[in-house]
Amino acid sequence: MTRFAKHKKPRKDKTGEDATPWEALKKPVTEEEDQRKAQKRLEKKRKRELKKICFRCRAAGHSMNECTAEIPDELKQKRE
């Protein structure tokens, strides 16, 4: 018999019938925990924004499509 072969006999013990319901296991989230999660989420978002580097001006904090730096004339001519 191979390692992945299925048994032809049905299982005698049925799982899940006497299991504890999820609502009993999961405690309700308090308002304080919810606020803490929201603050962490915003903090992560700010850190990700600061890690972003613009490919046009090489400055941190924004991407190329948000860049306000002027493009030198030499680069404009190369693009055309």
What are the residues facing 60 on neighbouring strands? 53
CB 51 within 8 A of CB 41: no
Q: What is the pLDDT of residue 71?
A: 74
- Count of domains observed in the chain: 1
Q: What is the pLDDT of residue 69?
A: 86
Return the C-alpha torsion angle 57, 51, 44, 67, nearest 10: 10
- 73 found inside a domain: yes
Q: Which domain holds residue 37?
A: 32-79
CB 61 within 8 A of CB 49: yes
Global pTM reads 0.46
- 7 found inside a domain: no
Residues of the chain with pLDDT under 50: none
Tens of pLDDT, residues 21-39: 888 888 888 899 999 999 9
- 51 found inside a domain: yes
Q: What is the pLDDT of residue 47?
A: 92
- 74 found inside a domain: yes
